[in-house]
Amino acid sequence: MAPTILVTGGAGYIGSHACKALAMAGYRPVAFDNLSSGHRWAVRWGPLEVGCLEDAERLDAVIATYRPVAVMHFAAFSAAGESVVDPAKYYENNVAGLLSLLAAMRRAGLDRLVFSSTAAVYGSPLSTPIDEDHPQQPINPYGATKQAAERVLADFASAYDIRSVALRYFNAAGADRDGEIGEAHDPETHLIPIVLEAAAGLRPEVAIFGDRYETPDGTCIRDYIHVADLADAHVRALRWLADHPGAHAFNLGNGEGFSVREVIDAARRVTGRPIAVRVEDARPGDPAVLVADARCASDVLGWRPDSAELDTQIADAWRWLTGRYRTLNTRPNSTSSRHRQPAPSSVVVAR
């Protein structure tokens, strides 16, 4: 039988893509998710077990039933703005939830964990591109919880021999190349799907927050990485951990940035649709440029992005979005809040 991997948050955007990558690599993914933001329809390559990280009895039961050999941990809240308004929610889930998971792993003798981290641990960069040795100075509770989680993993590696890899994503983008799963947040806060919703007529315009940054066109620059490439990195990290004790961290990005206006122009080009924009004041704490130095993941894990091109990422996301809404608009009784079209909005977060 294929080795089983417990995937917390396996019904979410990145977690579900990781489940597919695991299945394609010969593993059996078991998604453990409370469905607060994940979707049942995204779990297609293994069983779904509904539960919460703080429920120790439920975690123990799932682990006892499936006997996983390792864990991939995606279950976390990730909206930076929300974390400022409600930091307790983020510390309780992102830090206390991890501690509960690690306790369950110790009870079961599990010693391998691949952890979903973020470039938000770095805060406003002192230099770019950002490598793993860049100072960590998170500017919001979300980034601080991920930094704290990484410290927990380092301490648990030292004290309890739980080996781990923390993968620090920059901006996840795109959708499954076969169109089977994709990004579906409610509300949506990521730039590319919001721009594509405007192209599809699901929202009237896209807000650009700030156009006077010290960048070529005045808008923020970010490093976008295809979600399938992220999933591939998780499988590589899982395999690498089999022979490497300790706690490790790698950046995941393309090493190239695109501005907000470049993303919008690419979406117009890919979709052939007009996209209206509105410029608003810049938001406090938004760095002008965030670009990854991911050479360490390349050198150590043998990982290289296959879909670094912005047009490819947008085309895959567009195929997913149009296919999903075409299906939902023709499906009878599709009025659940999980499946309704989002109300038009002009709110966008260029993360």
State the burial class of residue 35 (Cβ atoms within 10 Å of its Cβ: 0-12, 13-18, 19+): middle
What DSSP character marks residue 95?
A: I
Q: Hunting for tokens 């790698």 — which residue is that? A: 250
b/e map 78-108, b = 16+ CB within 10 Å: bbbebbeeeeeebbebbbebbebbbebbeeb
Residues 6+ apart with CB under 8 A from 220: 209, 210, 213, 259, 260, 286, 287, 288, 289, 290, 350
Euclidean distance between CA atoms 181 and 31, whole angstroms: 15
**Which secondary-structure segment (H or E) carries 114?**
strand 112-118
Q: Sign of the C-alpha dihedral, residues 134, 140, 144, 145?
A: negative
Please confirm, yes or no, whether 90 is among the known catalytic residues: no
Catalytic residue among 142, 169, 213, 224, which?
A: 142
Distances (CA, A) of 241 to 1, 72, 98, 272, 288: 21, 12, 19, 44, 35
Strand, helix or coil for residue 268: helix
258-259 and 221-222 as β-strands: parallel, antiparallel, unpaired?
Answer: antiparallel
CA distances from 170 to 9, 92, 129, 250 (A): 19, 23, 11, 11
End-to-end CA distance of the chain: 41
Token match 């085309």: residue?
315
β pairing state of 4-8 and 112-118? unpaired
- What is the dihedral angle through the alpha carbons of 48, 51, 55, 58, rounded to the nearest 10 degrees? -40
Residue type at 288 in one-letter notation = A
Active-site positions read 142
